[in-house]
Chains A and B, each alone.
Chain A
Amino acid sequence: MHIIESGNVAAATGVKLARTEVIAAYPITPQTPLTEKLSELVDSGKMKAEYIPVESEHSALAVCIAASSAGSRAFTATSANGLLYMSEQIHWAAGARLPIVMCVVNRGIGAPWTVWNDHQDAISQRDAGWIQLYACDHQQIIDTVIQAFHIAETVRIPVMVCYDGYLLSHTYMPFEIPEQDAVDAFLPKFSPSYFLDPKNPANLNTVTLPDIRPDVRGNMAPGYMEIRNNLHTDMRKTISVVEEMDRKYQKTVGRGGNPLIEKYRCEDADFIAVCLGSLSYQLRDVVDTLRGEGIKTGVAGIRLYRPFPDKTVAAEFVNAKGLIVFEKALSYGNQGALYSDIKSALYRNDNRPFVHNYILGLGGREIKTPDLLHAFRISCTDFRKIGDDPQWIGLKL
């Protein structure tokens, strides 16, 4: 069934179809309509789940950690400063290997206060050990939320589904709601091999000492280093799991493709724009215009940001002359985070394209298509003019 609704409603519908059992969230702009929709669905009995109201984002994720430890499918959502308030629990959920799914409705971080879109919130949490998936439109939001549960529960690593505040969360777009039967065929019931159970008392995530030590049975138990190394190893394996889940989703629900990088006119492209989120769709117009001018351009939207599909990046862009990374976030005092990741992935190649970095749209600053076109054109035609420092688009003073 196709409907026309907001991105937040697309996310809420995905959470309902995934038969989520516990929801705990604290409202924050622009995520609020998502949690409102979920509380409505639970209150009206359309969704059989526990909706637990909390006094903060830290508590919201703490509730999800407890619910997930007890073997329930748990969901939360937040934005910006709410995500940062959760930060301590974000790291905890990853280290405890709890397959929680969280929507991050991307918004800039204060100070100064802003409620508008950029990616600094999710990027600031990229090293926490969560999987990060980015959606570019409403259809991808609902599909990605459903897939996120399967990915998380397969590798036992929590997942952030990131989508742009306002640009996607509050705009209305047609999208298809998958049939419940199809989602049930795709997503098995959450049945963890181990969960908190009064019949088998245990202490979870107990303190570790610098060295490993034997457990009560005398077997050597993994220590902090082993646990963290294993999280990394399983994160690396997650890249192929994301591809596998996409294939399964195509079979059962009938939609998908491009789970790691979504490309547009990249096949013969000399110059490829790279970015996260809905910006990649806006850049398609720019690519078409530049193609009309005879410049072979393309755009690649990174859908899986953590774990970073570095080998795919290196292979996909092996023939490009230049990559132009457009970013709504940066590592202050250095450069865009995605820019660094792209350059690092390309380092393994003998012939490396030039890579440029543009910072834009911070705090919701309007991203004008002519500005994108101008920057992209300079990068293609006069690439020596641009150095390694990030170039800012849309500064007015």
Chain B
Amino acid sequence: MKNDKYGRFTSHSEPGPGDGGRTGSWRVVRPVIDLAKCIPVKSNKMSCFTCWLYCPDNVITRTIPPTIDYEYCKGCEICAEECPADAITMVEEAEFVKKEK
């Protein structure tokens, strides 16, 4: 925010993805959904979505199957904790780095 004569710089953000930076880089463990256990996938119905409901960063979609935006997921583990079907496991980010190598 600025006007011409006096800067009046402040920290200011508007709703939208990424205003807090690409917070996916903060993640040390990655939530991975096992679709074989996921309730909406298994039933093919718009049901459950507990992960979508609980995600504090709104990075999980309310779709079949649910998808996770790893660009912004901080790896807080709340989805894995709340999933009633134990379909989400947290995998060390190091595992993915090893695979890339």
Query: Which of A's residues lie within 8 Å of B, judged by CB?
Result: 95-97, 154-156, 193-194, 200-209, 213-217, 221-222, 224, 226-227, 230-231, 233-234, 237
> Which residues of chain A are near B10, meaning CB under 8 Å?
95-97, 204-205, 227
Docked complex Cα distance between A207 and B11 (Å)? 7
Whether, in the assembled complex, B100 has its beta carbon less than 8 Å from a beta carbon of chain A, the answer is: no
- Interface pair A226/B9, CB less than 8 Å apart: yes
**How far in angstroms is the closest Cβ of chain A from B71?**
13
How many contacts between A and B, using CB within 8 angstroms? 71
Q: Least Cβ distance of A344 to chain B in Å? A: 25
Partner of A213, one of B1, B3, B17, B21: B21
In the complex, how many residues of chain B place their beta carbon closer than 8 angstroms to a beta carbon of chain A?
Answer: 19
The CA-CA distance from A214 to B22 in the complex, in Å, is 10
Whether A215 lies near B19 (C-beta < 8 A) is: yes
Which of A206, A222, A237 makes the CB contact (< 8 A) with B19? Answer: A206
Please give the distance in Å from A210's CB to the nearest CB on chain B: 11
Q: How far is the CA of A123 from the CA of B46 in the complex (A)?
A: 63
Contact B18 A204 (CB under 8 A): no
Q: Could you tell me if A227 and B11 are in contact, using CB atoms closer than 8 angstroms?
A: yes
What's the least CB distance linking A213 to chain B, in Å? Answer: 5
With A193-B3, A202-B13 as given contacts, are A97 and B18 in contact (CB-CB < 8 Å)?
Answer: no
Contact with A along B1-36 (1 / 0, CB 8 A): 101011111111111111111000000000000000
How far apart are the CA atoms of A66 and B3 in the complex, in Å? 21
Q: A216-B19, A222-B9 are known contacts. Are A194 and B1 too (CB-CB below 8 A)? A: yes
Write the nearest CB–CB distance from A373 to chain B, whole angstroms. 45
Interface centre among B11, B12, B13, B20 (most CB of A within 10 A): B11
A27 to B39, CA, bound (A): 60
A209 to B: closest C-beta gap in Å = 7
From B5, B15, B19, residue with most partner A Cβ within 10 Å: B19
Q: How far is the CB of B6 from chain A (nearest CB, A)?
A: 5
